Amino acid sequence: MILEGSYPYVHGGVSSWMHQYIQAMPDTEFVLWCIGAEAKNKGRYKYELPPNVVEVHEVFLDDALKLKLKNSRKKLKFTDEERSELKKLFEGEKLDWDVLFNLFQEKQVNPVNMMMSPVFLDIIMQLCSERFTYLSFTDFFYNVRSMVLPELYLITQEVPRADIYHATATGYSGILASLGKWKYNKPFILTEHGIYTREREEELLRAEWVLPYFRNQWINLFHLFSDCAYTHADAVTALFRRANEAQHELGCEKSKLCVTPNGVHPERLAGAGEKKPDGYVDIGAIVRIAKIKDIKTMIYAFAEVNRSMPNTRLHIMGDVDDEEYFEACKTLISQLGVKGIIFTGIVDVAEYIKKIDFVILTSISEGQPLSVLEAFAAGRACVTTDVGCCRELIEGNDGIGNAGICVPPMNKEQLAQAMLELCREPALRRKMGQAGRARVNRFYTHEISMENYRRLYQEVS
């Protein structure tokens, strides 16, 4: 399993899915190839690894910055093909990744030595003079270096042996999975919980650290990553059909695509029952504290709800993924003067949800959120943003009925209105919760999901 920025370093989302996935296949040995941002997190796991995890290989992107120039009497020589593919990488054009795999894996070229070579200098000078005449050469050089050094560093890593390489994103993990397939000629399965390229594009369009004239370069880079993964993968799964369509739009062959929905253990949450009346309406958010979850819009909307109905409380259940963003959220709560917001930290959802009347999700990007499936399994209605397959989960089109309300992302007015509707109408939220429970039991159990993956492993082996 090739994992990027998730298991076993953080709680929730893909990490929760991964932990349950490994536990559900005790007869399968798992080798984890984990990509993290910072080497200081080495070995700092948030999960106790199951016994069928037989190896863990960790690689951290900030270690790329520690690479040193290797003294060598041999002058670096590049074939015309290698030079051509390097140029395509630097300019963000579709390329043959196998040429780079051979260059940095088999020939063991040091990325720093490559970047100090006359060939690299010639390529960069040519690109700068052709496309970026309005920039200083120094700015352009260091932007290209910061863009490509991490992935070239990854390509130099020792590749763990496996019977199947299974990646959970098209980004850096997709590159490593492609490298594994290339090196050992073994099958590669790609599972996307969200569309990685689209998520990075959204982040880059808002990011303040990216200079405007380099923004397209960074976006093109992540498109190259997805192209690498889609080209090398034998099977590409998504959580819902619309995501498959997005994968095809990004260049994946239709013949590789399939849908494998997430699943939960309904029996674990079935005993939640209805919340005991206590004079309050309690709203829950099963979510890690991160920008992509848009906790700020959640706070703004709840402030409106709380002004109209002071007997409301908001329970935000999840780990802090971004300390700076968490502090900004607490500052916003103070500025708004809103009461009744509780940050619970990590909790046992099956137990804590007994205190909750309904659940909300305010993400600006999602795949098929486990938090919504868990809420449904507990018989709780949901208010979600219209991202990923949230509308499909809410509305179903299966004759069961609506299991909540779907609103546009980042729209605090409509979010507050939907929350107020469920606060004021207990019979409605009860009916919607029953619909959600029926939908999960019919389509989204863990057993159904695992059987899909077992079948896929057998098909590609």
Counted domains in the chain: 3
Pairing status of strand 30-36 against strand 2-4:
parallel
283 inside domain: yes
Q: Judge if 254 and 166 occupy the same domain.
A: yes
Reduced to 3 states (helix: H, G, I; strand: E, B; else coil), residue 71 is coil
395 inside domain: yes
Q: Judge if 178 and 323 occupy the same domain.
A: no
Q: Judge if 47 and 162 occupy the same domain.
A: yes
pTM: 0.83
pLDDT tens per residue across span 202-236 = 889 888 888 888 899 999 999 999 999 999 999 99
Contacts of 124 (CB under 8 A, 6+ apart): 90, 137, 140, 141, 144
Listing from the earlier edge strand, what are the strands of the sheet with 341-345? 341-345, 312-317, 281-286, 358-361, 382-385, 404-407
Q: Judge if 141 and 37 occupy the same domain.
A: no
Residue 111's pLDDT is 95
205 inside domain: yes
Q: Judge if 298 and 415 occupy the same domain.
A: yes
Q: Where are the alpha helices (DSSP H) in 271-352?
A: 295-308, 323-336, 349-352
> Of 259, 274, 298, which residue constitutes the final position of a domain?
259
Q: Judge if 47 and 187 occupy the same domain.
A: yes
Q: Judge if 276 and 360 occupy the same domain.
A: yes
> Of 89, 114, 145, which residue constitutes the final position of a domain?
145
Question: Residue 56: which of 38, 40, 35, 72 has the closest Cα?
Answer: 35
The answer to whether the beta carbons of residues 293 and 319 sit under 8 Å apart is no
Pairing status of strand 53-60 against strand 30-36:
parallel
φ, ψ dihedrals at 390, nearest 5°: -60, -40
As a dihedral over the C-alpha atoms of residue 411, residue 415, residue 418, residue 419, rounded to 10 degrees, the angle is -170
> Of 208, 239, 259, which residue constitutes the final position of a domain?
259
Q: Judge if 92 and 58 occupy the same domain.
A: no
φ, ψ dihedrals at 97, nearest 5°: -65, -25
Residue 54's pLDDT is 98
Residue 187's pLDDT is 98
Q: Judge if 117 and 214 occupy the same domain.
A: no
The answer to whether the beta carbons of residues 409 and 384 sit under 8 Å apart is no
Residue numbers in the chain where pLDDT is lower than 50 = none
Question: Residue 336: which of 302, 362, 366, 311 has the closest Cα?
Answer: 302
Residue 172's pLDDT is 97
**Sign of the alpha-carbon dihedral angle for 269, 273, 278, 284:** positive
Contacts of 89 (CB under 8 A, 6+ apart): 95, 100, 148, 224
Residue 202's pLDDT is 85
168 inside domain: yes
461 inside domain: no
173 inside domain: yes
Q: Judge if 249 and 171 occupy the same domain.
A: yes
72 inside domain: no
Label residue 273 left, alpha or beta by phi (over 0 means left) and psi (-120 to 50 means alpha).
Answer: left
Q: Judge if 270 and 380 occupy the same domain.
A: yes
Q: Judge if 90 and 39 occupy the same domain.
A: no
Kindly give the interhelix angle for 412-424 and 295-308, rounded to the nearest 10 degrees.
50
**Sign of the alpha-carbon dihedral angle for 299, 301, 305, 308:** positive
CATH number for 170? 3.40.50.2000
Domain that holds residue 235: 2-66+158-259
Contacts of 389 (CB under 8 A, 6+ apart): 239, 240, 242, 243, 366, 367, 368
Question: How many CB atoms are located within 10 Å of the residue 350 CB?
Answer: 17
pLDDT tens per residue across span 20-63 = 999 999 999 999 999 999 999 999 999 999 999 999 999 999 99
455 inside domain: no
